[in-house]
Amino acid sequence: MADNTNFIEEIINKDLESGAVSEIITRFPPEPNGYLHIGHAKSLCINFGMKEEYHGKCNLRYDDTNPSKEDVEFVNSIKEDIAWLGFEWDNELYASDYFDRMYECAVGLIKKGLAYVCDYSADEIRNTRGNLTTPGQNSPWRDRSVEENLRLFEEMKDGKYADGEKVLRAKIDMASPNMNMRDPVIYRILREKHHRTGDKWIIYPMYDFAHPLEDAFEGVTHSICTLEFEDHRPLYDWVKYNCGFGDFPKQIEFARLNMTRTIMSKRYLKKLVEEGKVDGWSDPRMPTLSGMRERGYPPEAIRNFCAAAGVSKSNSEVDVAMLEHFVRDYLNVNADRMMVVRNPIKLIVENADRDEVYDIENNPNAEVKTTHKVSFGRELFIDRDDFAPVPPPKYKRLVPGGTVRLKGSYIVEYVSHKCDDDGNVTEVVCRYIPDSIQGGVNCEMKVKGVIQWVNAKDCVDLTLHEFDYLLLDGDGDFNDRLTPDSHTVYPSAKGEAALREVKPYDRFQFMRMGYFSAVRDYGKDGKYEFNMITGLKDRYGK
């Protein structure tokens, strides 16, 4: 146990042992400007993981201090996705609820001579910041009196100035080796309707000022974020101390999750949605949690994957095969096996003179063994790929003159077949071998292979959706790496009768094909469609 302690737990353990904190409080702080993706799942697993491990608390806090990109649709989807993953937040909070308190903190900084109103434009601020080798230049407005700053800041709030005309800056050090400490802007004027506060505010706090305050107001002890904020930590601490807080909250950074063949940038995901390259944020090909839900990924598998990916201080890229490995690992034990044919052709069993019904085992790997009924008769369907009039080398299915076992049923031997004018096989005729069912006297007969089948009499017409990764392998601009045709539809598949009864999001292994999930409106208005979750072959660790 102790050897598996990650660096975040080490910090927390020390803080508990020293008595610096008595209860661990974390938060998950999404900006409601898009849907959550698999990277967010990692952050969720860490923040809620700490809550669970230390019997503490974890808040869901919407970081909604930037009004221009935020939306209620995103607020709702975020909640739905976190609940789906199986996490429970202690409080649902909004950074925008703290706008009054943040304003007071800014006034407090002005009174201490630690913030000033600056008339520079965004360009002028950028041009006077200096760079890594040259210090910045002090703003000509840096030494305004406290009284003047208080008056101007209030006027900013009251709408006396145009957007961008003035900003409030922290007065720190224009020569600091850390660029973030060179008098950063902490408030700006922005006339934009906010999804919660409406038109009440026309000045909004900047992230680096707002975030430590949000954490501090809530009594968060450990503010866990991604590595790109490491350079912002001195500013985080500056705000925290100068606004009257102590050593906590403490910011801790970890490496974000990156995954091969996957886009993790909300900005780019949004672009895919807006340009219609995918069917919305919940398209099964999207790396969003809602996309993965539609695709049929079990939330347990996502959590297992995040746990295995671990917590680290250095950036790396995880193979998407690892995520799929955990999906398969879960489904192997939890998904019932069913028979489906993707591209059906008729198989006539000419000596079958009556229907039979078998109990087929649902899942050989399940802890509790169950069965379901499958019917056999004279007219069946098999997959076009499972009969070859002229077999290629090493072909192990039905061929002229050959035999094959029908999964869970008889061995059948070829009799004849018919083709259409183009030479496509339309029908195969065979005979079943009596007593060749498991346990029968002929059941040990050698056959080339085992194939799945369905009974034409009671099978259900299915549409299957199969997917490729959104991105091609490699690096470079996402725009040049979009996989062409990443969605394939099989509109005339046929499934065994039991599939008529399943519920939306039920997951199965279709034998010899892969794992599939019933779509969200399965069974409604005759819609019998499945999304492919993942194939059967595991390339992880190979």
Active site residues: 31, 256, 266
Residue 365: strand, helix, or coil: coil
* CA distances for 280 relative to 139, 271, 272, angstroms: 46, 10, 8
Which of 502, 85, 534 has the alpha carbon at shortest distance from 321?
Answer: 534
31 vs 154, which CB is nearer to Mg ion?
A: 31
As a whole number of angstroms, the distance between CA 536 and CA 316 comes to: 27
Which of 8, 72, 87 has the alpha carbon at shortest distance from 41?
Answer: 87
As a whole number of angstroms, the distance between CA 432 and CA 419 comes to: 22
Which of 536, 534, 351 has the alpha carbon at shortest distance from 436?
Answer: 351
42 binding partner (options Mg ion, ligand ATP, none; Cβ < 5 to 8 Å by kind): ligand ATP
Does residue 31 belong to the site contacting Mg ion (CB under 5 A)?
yes
Tokens of residue 464, six digits: 């299957």
23 vs 317, which CB is nearer to ligand ATP?
A: 317
Stretch that binds Mg ion, among 24-32, 70-78, 215-223, 462-470 (CB under 5 A): 24-32
As a whole number of angstroms, the distance between CA 209 and CA 116 comes to: 14
Whose tokens are 């991604």? That residue is 226
Residue 381: strand, helix, or coil: strand
- Comparing every residue's Cβ against ligand ATP, the nearest one is 39
Least separation in angstroms between CB 346 and ligand ATP:
50
Name which of residues 254 to 293 contact ligand ATP (CB under 6 A): 256-257, 264-266
Least separation in angstroms between CB 358 and ligand ATP:
48
Does residue 270 belong to the site contacting Mg ion (CB under 5 A)?
no
* Interacting residue with ligand ATP among 24, 42, 98, 211 (CB under 6 A): 42
365 binding partner (options Mg ion, ligand ATP, none; Cβ < 5 to 8 Å by kind): none
147 vs 228, which CB is nearer to Mg ion?
A: 228
Contact letters for ligand ATP, residues 212-251 (x by CB under 6 A)? -------------xx-------------------------
Number of helices (H) and strands (E), helices first, in the chain?
12, 27
27 vs 328, which CB is nearer to ligand ATP?
A: 27
Does residue 295 belong to the site contacting ligand ATP (CB under 6 A)?
no
* CA distances for 451 relative to 256, 353, 391, 433, angstroms: 44, 22, 15, 16
Does residue 39 belong to the site contacting ligand ATP (CB under 6 A)?
yes
Does residue 31 belong to the site contacting ligand ATP (CB under 6 A)?
yes
Least separation in angstroms between CB 66 and Mg ion:
8
In the complex, the residues that contact Mg ion under the rule CB under 5 A are 31
